[in-house]
Amino acid sequence: MVFSSPDFLFLFLPAVILTYFIVPPVLRNPVLLLFSLFFYGWGEPAYIILMVITIIVDYIGGYFVAKFLPTSRKKAKIAMAAAIVINLLSLGFFKYWDFFATSLSALPFIPELPVLGLTLPVGISFYTFQSLSYVVDVYRGDGNVQKNIATFGTYVVLFPQLIAGPIVRYCDVDDQLRKREHRLDLFASGVRTFVCGLAKKLILANSAGAMWDSLSESVVGNSPSVVAAWLGLLFYTFHIYFDFSGYSDMAIGLGKMFGFVFRENFNYPYIADSVTDFWRRWHISLSVWFREYVYIPLGGNRKGKGRMIFNLFAVWFLTGMWHGAGWNFILWGLYYGVLLCLEKLVLNKFLEKIPVWIRRVITFIIVMFGWLLFASDGMGFFSTYFSSMFTAPFLSSTVLYDLVRSLLLIAVLFAASTPAPQKIFRKLYEKSWGRWAIALAAGFAIILSVAYMVASSYNPFLYFRF
């Protein structure tokens, strides 16, 4: 079940809201837990067992960490390490076994390993990292041990951010799990945020995605051209942004409806003026997770340049692996590891002398090339597409038609990826008539989104596969 489906919007969501606010406050977390398990089981019924095992393992791990911590930090660390290892083994088996089996079996001195053809449990990368943060936060003293397993289960499988984030650290919602406010203004804010995300997904992301599908097929097929390759990659760049940020907005909005306040996951990443700045703005919850639980524990930048370079490459290798079991994801992670090291060690002083708008253009192009690695289903696709960007015939009549008819869409995508619309809405909100205009715009967005939803086929979010 996806947020942008009729089943979710017209059946599941009204049912969970109605039930949640009817029951006594003490039953609200169990209600969210049961509905979240049903939400997950709608598409992955077999893997509910895996999720329940994750909940039990980390609940027990957190219990023993808290029990041992006052008397024996060593035992507490062992309990934490055991929970971490079990979680990572589960993630590694389901996500990476086939990749490593295929890769290692290609080596001459390794016996052939069985390829199991495992189906990747939806959202396993997200809920595993989220659940791991509980055990670590309890060990660090950043969060209180959760004695109620239903409440802890609610944290792990809470349906708004279960499938594709944001990755919510336990220390950020510990208090909210125990007691949270339910205000009409917060609920209304959640509805607005959800509608914004829904429009991003159904109107902008899906439109950009359709153009990418068409153009990429022609680029790697029989009619490649330089313009088609660049135009297609531009559309993919917007497709992944509006798809993923749209999901994050919907998740954050749904959280507000149930009294949870999650941190923003995107901050206009395509206006970044450096790669470092881009990763402060893109998938913020993942960047924070790796910084807090990997980069800083490894020593961060406190132990000299050599150690900092190693730590950066370790984090970005793991970031690439987290996104997918494929060489393109590993290379994508290392691509950013190299760029971030270059910026920190060499380029920062040089970049400061360049006008901001030029830095933004350069960063945007660098990010586009990164997305080509990300979008490739194999290195053959990548090499063919990359080559077409520079060596194919410059233009074809078909692509010229695509370019002309998509100029308005491109303008809208660029504008919507900047803070300009938000600034306009804020100014309108200060005026009484402006609020009515915003309400009408929201109503129009809902109608248009539903029309797109009804007219389109099943179109899941890109990050579901991670």
Nearest to 291 by CA among 279, 300, 282: 300
Most confident option among 97-111, 182-196, 295-309, 415-429: 182-196
Nearest to 238 by CA among 401, 92, 390, 412: 412
Nearest to 396 by CA among 231, 228, 229, 208: 228
pLDDT (average), residues 293-308? 88
Measured CA to CA, the distance from residue 382 to residue 106 in angstroms comes to 21
Measured CA to CA, the distance from residue 165 to residue 125 in angstroms comes to 9
Q: ∠ CA(220), CA(225), CA(227), 5° rounding? A: 120
330-353 pLDDT, tens per residue? Answer: 999 999 999 999 998 888 788 888
Measured CA to CA, the distance from residue 447 to residue 445 in angstroms comes to 6
Please state at what angle helix 420-429 crosses helix 407-416, rounded to 10 degrees. 70
**Average pLDDT over the chain, rounded to whole?**
90
pLDDT (average), residues 358-379? 94
DSSP letter (8 states) at residue 181: -
The pLDDT of residue 357 is above 60: yes
The pLDDT of residue 458 is above 60: no
Active site residues: 323
What is the pTM for the complete model shown? 0.92
Measured CA to CA, the distance from residue 174 to residue 152 in angstroms comes to 9
Q: 138: which 2 tokens? A: 């309890």
- Percentage of the chain surpassing pLDDT 90? 65
72-95 pLDDT, tens per residue? Answer: 999 999 999 999 999 999 999 999
The pLDDT of residue 457 is above 70: no
- Angstrom distances, CA of residue 303 to CA of 307, 309, 338: 6, 10, 19
Nearest to 266 by CA among 165, 191, 184, 118: 165
The pLDDT of residue 460 is above 70: no
Helix (H, G, I), strand (E, B) or coil at 458: coil
Q: 382: which 2 tokens? A: 């990548």
Range in 295-299, 379-383, 442-446 the model is least confident about? 442-446
The pLDDT of residue 231 is above 80: yes
CA dihedral 302, 305, 306, 308 (to 10 degrees): 50
For every residue of 126-175, DSSP letters joined together read HHHHHHHHHHHHHHHTSS-----HHHHHHHHH-GGGTTT-----HHHHHH
What pLDDT was estimated at residue 446? 82
What pLDDT was estimated at residue 115? 82
Measured CA to CA, the distance from residue 371 to residue 242 in angstroms comes to 14
The pLDDT of residue 466 is above 70: no
Confidence of residue 6 (pLDDT cuts 50, 70, 90): confident
For every residue of 262-293, DSSP letters joined together read PPPS-S-GGG-SSHHHHHHHSSHHHHHHHIII
Confidence of residue 429 (pLDDT cuts 50, 70, 90): confident
| Rg over CA atoms, the chain | 23
Q: 387: which 2 tokens? A: 């080559």
Burial class from Cβ neighbours inside 10 Å (0-12, 13-18, 19+) for residue 329 reads buried
Confidence of residue 70 (pLDDT cuts 50, 70, 90): very high
CA dihedral 269, 271, 277, 280 (to 10 degrees): -30
What pLDDT was estimated at residue 30? 95
What pLDDT was estimated at residue 238? 97
362 neighbors 408 (Cβ within 8 angstroms): no
What pLDDT was estimated at residue 459? 65
Q: ∠ CA(312), CA(314), CA(319), 5° rounding? A: 95
What pLDDT was estimated at residue 43? 74
Identify each DSSP E strand in 179-257 by its residue range.
Answer: none
The pLDDT of residue 428 is above 80: no
What pLDDT was estimated at residue 1? 75
369-405 pLDDT, tens per residue? Answer: 999 999 998 888 999 999 999 988 888 877 888 888 8
